[in-house]
Amino acid sequence: MSIPHHTGFSVSMKTYSPMQFNVTVPVKPYVKRFLENNYGDPVDFRNHPRENELFKRMLKKPCHDNEHKYTNELCKQTHSVEILISERDFYRNGWELTKTDIVNFGKYFEKHAKWLMRTVVSTYVQHGTPVHRSIMNFQTRFMMEEEYWSFDSIKKDFYRLRESEGINLNEYAYQHMERLIRINMCKVGVITDKGVKIYEKNSVTSE
C-alpha cells in the first residue's frame, strides 16, 4: 500500500456572477405601461445612457427640495415598476428615491408618453381619422389598454393641448413626421448627424 508523504489540497474555482437588484418606484398606470413596453419588465436602463444616468443620479444625489409638497402627488402613483440596478450601483448609491425624485422621475416619462400619444393621435386625425377612432387606434397599437390609460383621459389631454396651447394639429403632425424621416434617413446613412442638425435648425427658423 502506497502511503503519501505530503498533504495537498484542491481548489474549485467558480466564476463570480454579480448580483442584480430591483428598485421599486411608484408611478402612474400609463407610465408603468410605457416603461415596461420600452425598457422591459423589470425596467432595464443599462443600454439607454440618458435614462440610466438620470436614475443613477437620483439614487446617488437625492433631491429633498419639495418633500413636504408631494404627499398628495404620490397618491396618483397607483402602480409601480421594478427597475434593475447592478450590484455595484446598489452598494454605491443605495436603493431609495426621495418623494421629490419619485415625482420628477414620473414627470420625465409622463412627458415622453404624452408626446408619443399626441404625435400618433394627431397624425391619424390629420389623415382624416375621427378623433375617437384615432385614440382607440393608439390604445390598441401601443398597448395602452383602458386600465392603464383610459379613453376619456387621453381625449382630455389631447384637447387640452390644442385648446390651451393653440396647437395646429396638422402642423404638429407634419413636424413630427418630418423629424422621424430625418432620424431614419440618418440611421441608414442617407444624411449625416450634421445634416439633421442643420435641417432641424432650418425648420425652427422657417416656422
Q: 195 lies in a domain?
A: yes
- For residues 106 and 174, membership in a common domain is answered with no
- For residues 24 and 103, membership in a common domain is answered with yes
Given a contact cutoff of 8 angstroms between Cβ atoms, the answer to whether 191 and 185 are in contact is yes
- For residues 30 and 101, membership in a common domain is answered with yes
Given a contact cutoff of 8 angstroms between Cβ atoms, the answer to whether 45 and 83 are in contact is yes
- For residues 34 and 101, membership in a common domain is answered with yes
Domain residue limits at 70: 20-111
Would the pLDDT of 95 be above 70?
Answer: yes
- For residues 37 and 105, membership in a common domain is answered with yes
Would the pLDDT of 157 be above 60?
Answer: yes
- For residues 106 and 177, membership in a common domain is answered with no
Last residue of a domain, one of 111, 139, 154: 111
Q: 126 lies in a domain?
A: no
For residue 6, what pLDDT is reported? 42
Residue 49 preceded by cis peptide, ω within 30: no
Last residue of a domain, one of 66, 88, 111: 111
How far is residue 147's CA from residue 29's CA, in Å, rounded to a whole number?
Answer: 8
Q: Which residues of 154-174 are buried (b: 16+ CB within 10 A; e: fewer)?
A: beeebeebeeeeeeebeebbe
CA nearest to 117, candidates 79, 147, 156 = 156
- For residues 181 and 107, membership in a common domain is answered with no
- For residues 29 and 102, membership in a common domain is answered with yes
pLDDT tens across 7-65, in order? 444 444 555 566 788 889 999 999 999 999 999 989 999 888 899 999 999 988 878 87
What pTM, to 2 d.p., does this model score? 0.73
Confidence of residue 123 (pLDDT cuts 50, 70, 90): confident
* Domain count for the chain: 2
Grid cell 397599437 in the structure block, residue: 141
CA nearest to 27, candidates 142, 149, 120, 119 = 149
For residue 128, what pLDDT is reported? 86
